[in-house]
Structure 1
Amino acid sequence: MSTSRRGLLGAALGGAVGLSSATAAHAASWQQKWAPSASGNGLGAFETVEDDRADSHPAGQPHIYATGDNWHFTMHKVDRDTSTDRQRQEVTGLRNGSGSNYLKWTEGQTWRVTYSMYIPSSLKATTTFTHIMQMKQPGNGTSPIVVQSLRRVNGVQTIELKLAIDDILVGRTALEPLHNKWIDVDFQIKVGNGSAGSVRWILKNGSTTVIDKSKTGVDTFLADRVRPKWGIYRSLGDTSGSLQDCYLLLTNLRGYQLV
């Protein structure tokens, strides 16, 4: 099966969460702020790259790299993070240009990322956490705010989106039908403290909408700012025997702000 992707999830999919339709139609629109390419920007598309930061598997490096139109994340069973009960190969942030020229998602703002992902059947859901996208406050030891995860539920492989601060499930759907094909992701977040935040999560398989779920009146802010992360971040505590060498592909990453 081909692992190149040319389609792009349209920026017109759905409206902004947390706004009345009248307000959104009259005053706000999505403006594209980030449109990197793997072939043109490589890993320079991101604020930081966390590739085997514990130097646990030099022979497997690089674990994160650009190839053709895709960003490729490899995870080996032997890879270890600085916390040795888990594995992490991730990138963070939305960089435009060089230096400190990256986008900062701050309280009160509404942001959206669209992209396509290819999850092979070797990247399985687990009984403990396997995150493939996170929203976090930057800094060591900070807790996740939102997680897109591969989780086994009563033995069934699923993909889900959760608000981690209050452990709120936004949505969940079966993973196995999405294995070994390109899936489009549309994620929207209003950055808000307490009950001022909202999220929307859409997955599409070709022209079919697999899931479209929203939550409003929720907490999506800790401090400083919110920063997206992509890659594979998983616990070694899985009890289903699902951990194996695997990879994840991303392409057509786009970032928009509601202004």
Structure 2
Amino acid sequence: MSTSRRALLGAAVGGAAGAAVGLSAAAPAHAASWQQKWAPTATGDGLGAFETVEDDRADSHPAGHPHIYATGDNWRFNMHTVDRDTSTDRQRQEVTGLRTGSGYLKWTQGQTWRITYSMYIPGSLKATTTFTHIMQMKQPGNGTSPIVVQSLRRVNGVQTIELNLPIAGVLVGRTDLEPLHDTWTDVDFQIKVGDGTAGSVRWILKSGSTTVIDKSRTGVDTFLADRVRPKWGIYRSLGDTSGSLQDTYLLLTDLRGYQLG
């Protein structure tokens, strides 16, 4: 990422504690602020930045290994049309969690967390008629439902990117995907972990200095049990009917994690 893009993203985080979900923009100077807890680099930490790595866990495509790796300043997630997850109707190449030198960070009830990063979505990573998730928030463990998903979805034939809260049944926001193809997009995501109506989220996408979308929802369910754990990568259904599935990849860089405290 260029110096100007790094400065833009850093300024947004540094000056936005008052705009955190659930807080007043007029909060006093002594109010809670964002504390950086996670700042890995692809060159220095590699895949050690994450709690777990789910790289072709069904061993469906050994010739494509590794599907997930650090390259330069980026983490890269490759997806081939032949790749299969353990459930063979879908594909998954994902990483989970925020690992630090002292272990991994746990997001629990009542806490507010913020993730910022930049993503490069090539034109070959298209929206589909069934699910294509590029970020999830889940309770760890097999068979748990997603709490938050950032997805690439075709809506009436149009490619979109959206943020959805599946257990709350809430679409937070949606915008056109095609202008974001083949360019870097900054993501700023906030979540207050809360059961029932105690949770809230904010989702911001920026392209350069332009805010593409900025949507918030309060009074929503963002917790199942134990803790919330973020995931990144490509997780998509093979049930697409638009002919959009092809060999592709996703790049992430400048991952940062903050806790409101």
CA distance in 2, matches of 1:144, 1:70: 25
SS in 2 for 1:228: strand
SS in 1 for 2:179: helix
1:151-193, CA deviations, whole angstroms, 9 ceiling, x for partnerless residues?
0000000000000102210000000000000000000000000
- Of residues 96, 120, 123, the one that matches 2:122 is 120
What residue is the counterpart of 2:45 in the other structure? 41
CA distance in 2, matches of 1:192, 1:141: 21
CA distance in 1, matches of 2:186, 2:77: 17
CA distance in 1, matches of 2:59, 2:71: 22
Q: Does residue 18 of structure 1 match 2:57?
A: no
Unaligned segments of structure 2, at least 5 residues: none
1:171-217, CA deviations, whole angstroms, 9 ceiling, x for partnerless residues?
00000000000000000000000000000000000000000000000
Give matches, 1:1-259, under 5 Å.
Answer: 7-8=5-6, 9-10=9-10, 11-12=13-14, 14=16, 15-23=19-27, 25-97=29-101, 101-259=103-261
Asked if the contact 1:72/1:250 (under 8 Å) is kept, the reply is yes
CA distance in 1, matches of 2:88, 2:193: 32
Q: What TM-score, normalized to structure 2?
A: 0.95
How many pairs does the alignment contain? 254
CA distance in 1, matches of 2:161, 2:221: 21
SS in 1 for 2:45: helix
Q: 1:24 to 1:140 in 2, by over 3 A?
A: farther
Asked if the contact 2:168/2:222 (under 8 Å) is kept, the reply is no
CA distance in 2, matches of 1:166, 1:31: 28
The Cα RMSD (Å) is: 1.2
Q: What TM-score, normalized to structure 1?
A: 0.95
CA distance in 2, matches of 1:175, 1:185: 14
CA distance in 2, matches of 1:225, 1:13: 28
Find runs of 4+ consecutive structure 1 residues off by over 6 angstroms: none
